[in-house]
Amino acid sequence: MLTSSNVIFYIAFLGQIFLLSYYYPGKILARIKFVRETYPPAEYPRLYPKSKKHFLVGYKRFQWASRIIMAIGFVILYMIMFVVDQATFADDGFVSEAFPAAYGMLQFLPLMALEISEFSQFKQMREAQVGTTRTADMRRRGLFNFVTPRLFFLALTLFLVAVAYDFYVQDLVTGINTDSMLRALILTASNLFLVGLGTWLMIGKKLNPHQSADDRVKHIGASLRSFLYTSMAMSVFWMVQITDDIYDLAFLDATILSIYFQAIAFLSIGTLLRTMKLKDLDFEVYRDNPAAT
């Protein structure tokens, strides 16, 4: 049975297909192409620890993986609409949240593979680094040197409100085996994971051995802001899910989850792409013999 909630889900799921498998992959591919054409290996050899063919293969793999996953998204949408209608739709317009959840995880796989490839590239850069003059960046790396206190405390407040709201609607039952306690532990663990990543970025070893001090500061700041935005999105999603359970709005679960995946992508990938503009980065460090800062 087709209901208004089904139509809302179709729109949300189309947005998920477009944003995670077309728009952001397209932006990333455009950046890679721009760098390759503007900063060629002949002039910027330190940027290419492996052959040009190796990078072209990686580019094509990411491009085709994104296209195939986008096609899979339309197949899933077709299946929901026309093939398994009776299995997933009820009179209230229910659509299983398994569809956007499984597809969302699939959509993030090429992005994760690209991130792993970047770590591998940085490792190769370090191995190839010989005879460079290194200088230390003596600037402080405290949290509030990268993000505003307002943003940090907003994320912290939303986290505490989400946990308190969960316990409140469950009549303040605090047993270790209660659903509220389990959800609070999951949300806490997720935030601690982001805290660990942020701490590692601030005080850990520089991944890119050629990255300038200013560019590193930009990258750390953009990453920390994306972590805080992601934390806030998790807290809001948590409260929406709890409210959804209270008012028995299960038929909206799939739509909410699809929007959540898009919000996470917008606040994490989107923040980095919007902040780390290529024209503002220092590529001179990748020439033959610059000082590595």
Query: 170-221: per-residue pLDDT in tens?
Result: 766 665 656 778 888 999 999 999 999 999 999 888 888 888 889 999 999 9
Single-letter amino acid, residue 150: R
pTM comes to: 0.86
Please give the average per-residue pLDDT across 106-135, as a whole number. Answer: 81
Q: Tokens in use for 111? A: 């992005």
Element (H, E) at 217: helix 213-246
Provide the pLDDT for residue 138. Answer: 55
> What percent of the chain shows pLDDT beyond 90?
51
Kindly report which listed range (70-79, 107-116, 167-176, 201-210) carries the lowest average pLDDT score: 167-176
Q: Residue 219's CB: how many other CB atoms inside 10 A? A: 20
Q: What is the DSSP letter of 207?
A: S
Residues 288 and 45: beta-carbon distance below 8 Å: yes
